[in-house]
A and B are shown apart, each in its own frame.
Chain A
Amino acid sequence: MSEYVEHSPSGTSVGRVEKQFFTFAADEPLLVESGRSLGPVTLAYETYGRLNASATNAVLVLHALTGDSHAAGYYETSDSKPGWWDLMIGPGKPLDTDRYFIICSNVVGGCMGTTGPASVDPATGRPYGLSFPVITVGDMVQAQKCLIDHLGVGRLLSVVGGSMGGMQVLEWSVRYPDMVRSAVPLATTTKHSALAIAFNEVARQAIMADPAWNGGDYYDGEQPAHGLAVARMIGHITYLSDEAMRQKFDRRLQDRCEISFAFEEADFQVESYLRYQGQKFVDRFDANSFLYVTKAADYFNLESSHGCGSAVAAFAKAQCRFLVASFSSDWLYPTYQSRAMVQAMKKNGLDVSFVELEAKWGHDAFLLPNARLSGMIARFLDRAAADAAKEDARAL
């Protein structure tokens, strides 16, 4: 996920928001999929809007690979940018904070306030580093469920997310089917393709080849900044598309009229862009955390973990209504992968809507303003809310 943050033309901001923390698994550690245990676990999270009396209006937003809990609003009025999905979340926006209670937490293994490899291991008093257990998308969702229970929400109105956030959406729908009323997986897949794994592996190798990485034990000194920057540059290539790159950069030169016949300076705008993105990323992200979250995405395979290798068997557990969307120029999670999950949902008789949106910006399109996507999500949530209200009335 890159950091395109743009303001929505319609609707206003949710305003000042605060990062909160929830700590659990202190006495009884969280058993993770690899067989190891982890505890205590702290989740950094934010909420926007108010939970209604019957606790039926909660929407869980799941962030992508390098996102965080800061999905909307501003921490300080002086912040230059709002949260990463501010164009979708706020008063009058599709995830309408006047109507819904929006929750977003940082994933386990992350580095934005949630327990991850950069956190201090209470057993040793030193950062976990590589002694942190390898975690999976299933583990992330398991931890999120503890938070949802803690917030007093029995059933989520919807779970919404793109990319690795979409994987968590899918995981929620089959792991806790009773707790999910509707689900919106965007630009995502039920399992990483060899292409997606390959890019992640090159990115991880870039980090591990940096001498500063030191086997993951670098917290006393400098972080492997160069390796992490290269890893991020690789990511950014996969988030765009051939057409997006041609339009954005083509072969235009950066601050020069002629090529330099040298290596230190960036000749082309695309080089300069990637270097800038890499550099910016180093300031906010932990290199070990990047290894863990990319591994979790690579290991994700809904079909093997929930359906003995069959997508149809995996979705047999799901009960909710789905809205699936892919983007025509997304070559990281191409449309055929969304179609495959939709097919498995249909074979189970699930109520599903699917659209491939025409978009030239590649995988990143799900984070960019898109009136069609906004309209569909808004109305899809409306419908879930109407169902919830009907059930509420019947229960009375």
Chain B
Amino acid sequence: MRYDLSLIASWIDPGATVLDLGCGAGDLLHILTVDKNVRGTGIEREEEKVTRGIEKGLSILHGDIIEEVADYPDGHFDYVILSQTLQQVFEPAVLIREMLRVGRCGIVSFPNFAYYRIRGQLLFRGRAPVSRELPYEWYDTPNIRVITIRDFRRFCRKEGFVIARETAVSTPHHHEQGKMVTFLPNLRASYGMFLLQRKGAQG
């Protein structure tokens, strides 16, 4: 199991209700359902992944995350997850506000663009970075946002999202193993992971 996904899973209470935005073929939801008895729904825009998710016995909706999340009543889920998708979102503030409307908590994770290996590619080779976390060339990337851990904290402050918990992760060798980074996370972590709440919400 991917290390970042297992970390997200560790943040979720057993039996919770979960909405996973950009859930892919439902790997995380599947783990949460089996291990934590979570009642989950996923939203995914690729038909092939949607069908694979439903074939795992999951509830998946085929559509755009911004449009689909809007239909849910306030506070319908315990957790709304946006895992490794923020860098592709056109209106991040709108989406996260919606996540915190339909969910009690939001979990957002993204590849950290200030990771030293990425900085190194730009600094030493003069090339647009291509990494395991961001494996695309400039001409075929679906990612439209460049996010760093420090930038995301600033963004949350500005938008009024409360960071209830935060972890920086480094997975240097393969996706299944990694470690948490506490010293200079914006430089040394390949991923950032945040638990968000609405302002005024009780922890």
Contact = CB atoms under 8 A, between A and B. Distances in A.
Given A343-B71, A349-B76, A354-B63, A372 B57 contact: no
Contacts of B68: 346
Contacts of B73: 347, 349
A155 interface: no
22 contacts: A323-B54, A339-B63, A346-B61, A346-B72, A347-B71, A347-B72, A347-B73, A349-B73, A351-B39, A351-B41, A352-B59, A353-B59, A354-B61, A354-B62, A355-B62, A356-B47, A372-B51, A376-B51, A376-B55, A379-B56, A379-B57, A380-B54
Given A379-B54, A379-B55, A380-B54, A352 B61 contact: yes
A349 to B, nearest CB: 6
A251 B50 CA distance: 37
Interface string A321-355: 10100000000000000010011001101011111
B95 to A, nearest CB: 17
Interface string B37-60: 001010000011011001111111
Interface string A355-371: 11110000000000000
List of 5 A-B pairs having minimum Cβ-Cβ separation, nearest first: A346-B71, A372-B51, A355-B62, A376-B54, A375-B55
Contacts of B54: 323, 353, 355, 375-376, 379-380
A383 interface: yes
B130 to A, nearest CB: 30
A382 to B, nearest CB: 6
| Residue among B39, B54, B58, B68 with max Cβ neighbours from chain A (10 Å) | B54
Q: Size band of the A side of the interface?
A: 20 to 34
Given A355-B50, A355-B54, 16 more contacts: A346-B61, A346-B71, A349-B76, A351-B39, A352-B61, A353-B60, A354-B62, A355-B62, A356-B62, A357-B51, A372-B51, A375-B54, A376-B54, A378-B55, A380-B54, A383-B57
Question: Mostly helix, strand, loop or mixed at chain A's interface?
Answer: helix
Contacts of B56: 379
A351 to B, nearest CB: 5
A375 B60 CA distance: 14
B59 A351 contact: yes
A380 B57 CA distance: 6
Contacts of B39: 351
Most chain B CB within 10 A, of A347, A349, A353, A356, is at A353
B51 to A, nearest CB: 4
A137 to B, nearest CB: 25
A349 B48 CA distance: 25
Contacts of A382: 57
B76 A375 contact: no
Interface in B47-99: 47-48, 50-51, 54-63, 68, 71-73, 76
Nearest to A326: B62
B114 to A, nearest CB: 37
A357 B55 contact: no
Contacts of B62: 354-356
A372 B60 CA distance: 14
Nearest to A346: B71
Contact of A358 (B47, B58, B60): B47
A128 B12 CA distance: 63
Which of B39, B47, B51, B68: most chain A CB closer than 10 A? B51
Given A346-B72, A380-B54, A355 B47 contact: yes
A377 to B, nearest CB: 9
A323 B71 CA distance: 17
